[in-house]
Structure 1
Amino acid sequence: MKWIFGIDGGGTSARLSAESLDGIETAKLETLSMNPRSVGWEGTRLSLRLLFRALKEEESFPLDSCAAGFAGVAGIGRTGDREKFLAILREETGLTCPLEADTDALPALVGALGSREGILLIAGTGSIALGSRISNPVLVRSGGWGHILGDEGSAYDVGRRGIAAALRYRDKRGQQTLLLDFMLAHFGISDPFLMIPEVYENFDKAKIAGFASQVGRARDAGDKVAEGIFESVAQELADLVVSVAEEIGETEGERRISMTGGLVSNDNKLSKAL
């Protein structure tokens, strides 16, 4: 039985879906993030190993019967990174079938819009906007620079801003905010000074991004500091979309814009503001 697979390698986790060509047999698996910018190339290798080890236990999907596969992975948008990822994938699996890989934003665009005509905003752990036209399929992107150089408007950005605001309030340099108590509870600490080893010795981008939900909780409770964070974030995300729209120019039909990612999908107020 021939089968195909797709990998969605986001900033927080990685998922693999396999399906027989007749659509009868399916498998869905999930494991650790494989973004090489976050977990390193050895982390990418480990994630792939875990996924395909689990898939091997599914008797319906022998590796020598794979017809083709595609991986959309955060952090491999550059040409050299795509080739390196594919080399690791083949080393870990022994697959000889046709394989392709690109940034996770590309399948997200086509999946959301049904074609390459339009604009997609992704705001999850990271943030990026991209778009293209059918007549000129070159992918235009804005953002996606990672949590050190960019990712403005992402869940990580919201979480980091929320932590910074909490610490400013602790220092009496900032406005009163619920975020200090929320931060202590989220990270399971009793002393704000414990944030130093929490961040600098045990850095976990996903955990900081996870604090975005608590910033949203504070906003919903009327916290002015949290409201200001979300107002700024909405503008950052809007700027991403506008910059892509200006570069791709007029589309051949009605311009379509779609939004995805955990931050906008799980926060109705933010998605409405956008």
Structure 2
Amino acid sequence: MSETILGIEAGGTRTTLILSNTQGELIHQRVFGPGNFRVIGKQGLLDLLKSCANDEQDPACVCLGLAGVRDDRDRGWIIEAAREIWPNALIWVDHDLASALIVAQRNFKKADSHVLVLSGTGSCCFGRDKEGKEAKCGGWGHHLGDRGSSYDIAHSAIRAVIQHFDQTGSWPKLGEKLLQASMHNDPNDWIPWFQQASKTEIAALAVAVFEAFKKRDPLARGVIYQAALALVTDAIACWKRLESKTCYFVLAGGVFLKQPAFTRLFKRLLREIKEDAQIAIIPVESAWGTIYAGLDLHASSKVRRSRNSQSAARHTRTPLRDQVLPVATQISPTEIRLPLSRKLDVMSRGKAMDLFLAEDESIPSAIREEKKKILKWISWVTEGLKKGGRLFYVGAGTSGRLGILDASECPPTFGVPASMIQGVIAGGRTAIWESMEGAEDDFKAGFQTLQRRGFDRRDMVLGIAASGRTPFVHGALSYARSLGARQGMLSFNPHLEWPRDHHPDVVICPEVGPEILTGSTRLKAGTATKLVLNMITTLSMVGIGKVKSNLMIDVRASNEKLRDRAIRMVVTLTDVNYDLAHSTLLAAGWDIQQACLILEGKGDRPKA
């Protein structure tokens, strides 16, 4: 191992590599192409890191500040990838804002907090106080945020030009400059170009806007003023969230570094709000923050270089200290091999099918053993829904998908709002149809998902996990527990010991036994999950009056099949003929209950 530190800062436009010795003295520096983790993906990042390894194959520390890194799941994956390339090195991973902020903290120490204000292709404000508390405003990407960035400036300028043209009929000088800069002949050419141009291509037009700004072009001045004000607003908000008395605002990114007039405008606007604001341009390239992180990492005798540990990933505090999982005293039955299926690979399809059906026959009796617990949960859900609460299913993989499936069927079947029964899956939307590696291991994400969905103590959450130990699920349960809300767990592992004060209100655990395909819990465990969820929502909906007899009286009659069903339900419930039921439903807006009231003389009859 050489006594070197390899620092890599990757952004949306370029990647900077710095190699230093363990005293922080520069050995050499190189520049590569874009390295935003969200844009180039896992394979792109692997290729980038392998290219960087040509500069130093065995450093003491490798420190990565990467745009696009959002959470511990990202950091964990990147740490493991880096360890494959540099197996002997200490690894530090964070987003590029964190490495830039380290430069600010190292060079401007006399403040209770520091806020980095970044404006380049994208933008963000990121702050941290002396205790490690963090605040962030922006960084949502060019579609949702990046206020005050070069992309935002270019995009806003083109919109301003088009608005001016629409309202006055005259083509402004700024429009001429932007057509020239984008190499288009007609503003109509911008329409298809914007749909396919990259963020960097559009952001490059900001140079033309700044040139017009220097010549006091009124449209450009308005755009630049709004961009600076947006950054000031976010910077102040960031500082206020840190709740510190003194703050150093450190400016970074190409817009601040290359456009001094913009920097002066920003400072003036900031001091109009905070007169004593300390403001400075970042004194060295922000990539040096990765080297400073490496120096601290190398000097620390407390860092443990565990291959599977993420403790060295960051030196900031996590708001979640209560990351407790139940202990498995034995291997889960779903992970045990089923003797009857050990020859599945050579078994005839007919025998294999018979085996599937025979194994599934055991599921109802296993569920029946948990009848009291299921009924208790249904009772809680029914009462909770009556009081305005909501039911959340939380799971990963198959468990999460089944929760989403059951939740999505409730609005059309029972006429309830989509918010009443919600399915949450680790990894989010993409994980519904695509495997998301590592998503289920993110406890913090489960906690924050319920937090961001506005979960409160009236709501209920049912965790679904075949093993009973999925961290994402337990993160959600932990958040519910912190509010005093009802928590349940649907699991297929009876060999769990729950830590004190962490036992859900009810644990439903049908013992369905080993799977035909070992560990494939989409089979018997999945079937049992679907049956249990069917009963929970159906019987809860019965409890809140969404069923009469055995009819779905609040079904949404959104197609011909369902409209015919609605008519037949009215005929059944009121003993009228088909045509009268049909006309009454039309008058009632296809509201089955209202139509029945009309026909029973308890509501207004339709006009002839």
- Alignment TM class, shorter chain as reference: 0.7 to 0.9
1:233 alignment partner in structure 2:
227
**Cα distance between partner residues in 2 of 1:18 and 1:215:** 37
- The SS at the match of 1:96 is coil
2:10 alignment partner in structure 1:
9
- The SS at the match of 1:148 is coil
Task: Assess if the C-alpha contact under 8 Å between 1:45 and 1:88 holds in 2.
Answer: yes
**Cα distance between partner residues in 2 of 1:182 and 1:88:** 45
Give the RMSD, CA atoms, in angstroms: 2.3
> How do 1:99-138 residues align onto structure 2 when only pairs under 5 Å count?
99-114=91-106, 117-134=113-130, 136-138=131-133
**Cα distance between partner residues in 2 of 1:232 and 1:200:** 24
The one-letter code matched in structure 1 to 2:37 is P
Residues 107-162 of structure 1, C-alpha deviations (whole Å, 9 max, x = no match): 1112023158322111111111121221x212211111111111111111111112
Task: Assess if the C-alpha contact under 8 Å between 1:123 and 1:262 holds in 2.
Answer: yes
1:72 to 48, 62, 65: 65
Residues 183-241 of structure 1, C-alpha deviations (whole Å, 9 max, x = no match): 2222223233333343323x211121111111111111221111110111111001111
2:244 alignment partner in structure 1:
250
2:173 to 175, 178, 182: 178
Q: 1:178 to 1:95 in 2, by over 3 A?
A: farther
| Ranges in structure 2 where 5+ consecutive residues have no aligned partner | 267-608
TM-score, normalised to structure 1's length?
0.86
The alignment status of 1:262 with 2:278, answered yes or no, reads no
The alignment status of 1:209 with 2:210, answered yes or no, reads no
Shift of 1:169: 4.5
The one-letter code matched in structure 2 to 1:49 is K
Q: 1:194 to 1:119 in 2, by over 3 A?
A: same
TM-score, normalised to structure 2's length?
0.40
- The SS at the match of 1:147 is coil
Shift of 1:15: 0.8
Shift of 1:27: 2.1
Shift of 1:23: 5.8
- Higher relative contact order, chain-length normalized (CA < 8 Å, sep 6+): 1
Q: 1:175 to 1:117 in 2, by over 3 A?
A: farther
1:58 alignment partner in structure 2:
none
Q: Which has the higher strand share?
A: 1
Aligned residue pairs: how many? 261
Task: Assess if the C-alpha contact under 8 Å between 1:109 and 1:120 holds in 2.
Answer: yes
The alignment status of 1:150 with 2:151, answered yes or no, reads no
Shift of 1:175: 7.0
- Percent sequence identity is 26
Shift of 1:42: 3.1
2:136 to 129, 132, 141: 141
The one-letter code matched in structure 2 to 1:196 is I
**Cα distance between partner residues in 2 of 1:271 and 1:159:** 17
- The SS at the match of 2:226 is helix
Structure 1 outlier segments of 4+, above 4 Å: 22-25, 169-176
Shift of 1:9: 1.0
Residues 34-57 of structure 1, C-alpha deviations (whole Å, 9 max, x = no match): 11223333333333333334x2xx
Q: 1:187 to 1:90 in 2, by over 3 A?
A: farther
Shift of 1:168: 3.7
- The SS at the match of 2:247 is coil
| Ranges in structure 1 where 5+ consecutive residues have no aligned partner | 56-60
Task: Assess if the C-alpha contact under 8 Å between 1:152 and 1:233 holds in 2.
Answer: yes
1:41 alignment partner in structure 2:
42
Shift of 1:24: 6.5
The one-letter code matched in structure 1 to 2:63 is F
The one-letter code matched in structure 1 to 2:42 is W
